Structure 1
Amino acid sequence: MSEVRAGMLLLATPALRDPHFCDTVVLVLDAGGEGAFGVVLNRPTALPVAAVLEAWSDVVAEPDVLFSGGPVETDGAVAVALRRTDPTAEPEVLGLREVVDRLVLLDLDTPVELVSDELDGLRIFAGYAGWGADQLDREIEEGSWYVVPGTASDVFRVDTATLRRDVLRRQPGDLAWHSTRPVDPEVN
């Protein structure tokens, strides 16, 4: 599967040597003719959300730390949330923008009290991953990324250490075998 759209996961293949993305799982938040952007799901930092965005500290999912979302604009924050209700059945909520299903982007300038009751989970990322027009398609063609369906539980896992392996393991066919592949097969 190589069609990239919001809600898909990009799993770094062993061919991807860029240290920013080695062994990462990236949630695609938007993709189109002008490029794509997403956030790395399996790079928690040691910095508590309360230290930089105290108003959101009671709303974020465990672990309540910032995640390193990618190498672009690392001084900014991207917030991904899970709505309690289906956004197609409920009216639009100020500060939330639908990504896919119940996953939404949250504008962190929105007052917490306006949206906190709407959320089942929130994760905040410092920075993001971004690709220009056709850049991600080229990287997929050269074998740098596996493209697979994502789930909300992938976004809000407490322990992200085995996320990449677990996502690979649930894939059909030969792709599941890559979950047991050593980091460097040449040393095997």
Structure 2
Amino acid sequence: MDSLQGQLLVASPTLTDPNFARAVVAIANHDEDGALGIVLNRPSETEVAEAVPELEDVVDSAEVVFVGGPVQPASIVVLAEFENPAEAAFLVVGGIGLVSERTGLERLDIVTARRRVFAGYAGWGPGQLEAELEREDWIVDPAHPEDVFAAEPVDLWGRVLDRKGGQFRLLARMPTDPSVN
């Protein structure tokens, strides 16, 4: 099994699970025990300052919490661009990875250049992600640093498919509900 760490999972248009419809998931860890990822393109309407006041000073003002996935939605996950990638719990792409407890909130703005806050994460048990890939639920593409911190995250699904090229460009332009076309 090849690890998908550092890859994006782009939901196939046929994936209808509301947790993942048109989702773009960055894979932070993938091994024989399963996989862990963060949905990148689901901003909530809740500001970080309101939901997690202790993180208010380490994100841009008015930054919102993103819905990182259906697993443990009450837990907070922070993706950050580390000055020293060894500080990350898991790396997603380049120096961007998950903040670990050892980093500490008091050091977060010193050891990282930028941060994004997520509620929950996406997780798969052993063999589960492989089965979903076999069913073609996901399209795999390498993660780029700008994917994690996209200025327009709701457009990420179409942008990733578009850059993949070929037949995927056609999918990128597919309406959410093809019957209204």
TM over 0.5: yes
Looking at structure 1, the residues matched to 7 and 61 of structure 2 have their Cα atoms a distance apart, in angstroms, of 22
Looking at structure 2, the residues matched to 98 and 131 of structure 1 have their Cα atoms a distance apart, in angstroms, of 16
Number of the residue aligned with 2:100: 107
1:5-30 Cα shifts (integer Å, max 9, x gaps) = 22211111111111111111111110
1:91-128 Cα shifts (integer Å, max 9, x gaps) = x44xx324142012113574433231221211111111
Change (3 A) 1:132 1:149: same
Number of the residue aligned with 1:82: 81
Looking at structure 2, the residues matched to 35 and 97 of structure 1 have their Cα atoms a distance apart, in angstroms, of 16
1:106-160 Cα shifts (integer Å, max 9, x gaps) = 1357443323122121111111111111111111111111011111111111221
Looking at structure 2, the residues matched to 64 and 109 of structure 1 have their Cα atoms a distance apart, in angstroms, of 24
Query: Secondary structure of the residue that 1:122 maps to in structure 2?
Result: strand
Looking at structure 1, the residues matched to 60 and 9 of structure 2 have their Cα atoms a distance apart, in angstroms, of 22
Number of the residue aligned with 1:155: 148
Number of the residue aligned with 2:70: 71
Query: Percent of pairs identical after alignment?
Result: 37
Looking at structure 2, the residues matched to 62 and 165 of structure 1 have their Cα atoms a distance apart, in angstroms, of 27
Q: Is the 8 A contact 2:58 2:108 kept in 1?
A: no
Structure 2: gaps (5+ residues): none
Looking at structure 2, the residues matched to 182 and 117 of structure 1 have their Cα atoms a distance apart, in angstroms, of 42
**Ranges of 4+ aligned residues in structure 1 off by more than 4 Å:** none
Query: Secondary structure of the residue that 1:22 maps to in structure 2?
Result: coil
Number of the residue aligned with 1:26: 25
Q: Is the 8 A contact 1:7 1:27 kept in 2?
A: yes
Query: Secondary structure of the residue that 1:19 maps to in structure 2?
Result: coil
**Paired residues, what number?**
180
Shift of 1:185: 3.2
Looking at structure 1, the residues matched to 164 and 62 of structure 2 have their Cα atoms a distance apart, in angstroms, of 26
- Provide the aligned C-alpha RMSD in A: 2.2
Looking at structure 2, the residues matched to 63 and 69 of structure 1 have their Cα atoms a distance apart, in angstroms, of 18
Query: Secondary structure of the residue that 2:58 maps to in structure 1?
Result: coil
Shift of 1:167: 0.7
Looking at structure 1, the residues matched to 160 and 60 of structure 2 have their Cα atoms a distance apart, in angstroms, of 20
Number of the residue aligned with 1:54: 53
Number of the residue aligned with 1:121: 114
Q: Which moved more, 1:74-83 or 1:58-67?
A: 58-67
Number of the residue aligned with 1:12: 11
Q: Is the 8 A contact 2:29 2:90 kept in 1?
A: no
TM-score by length of 2: 0.89
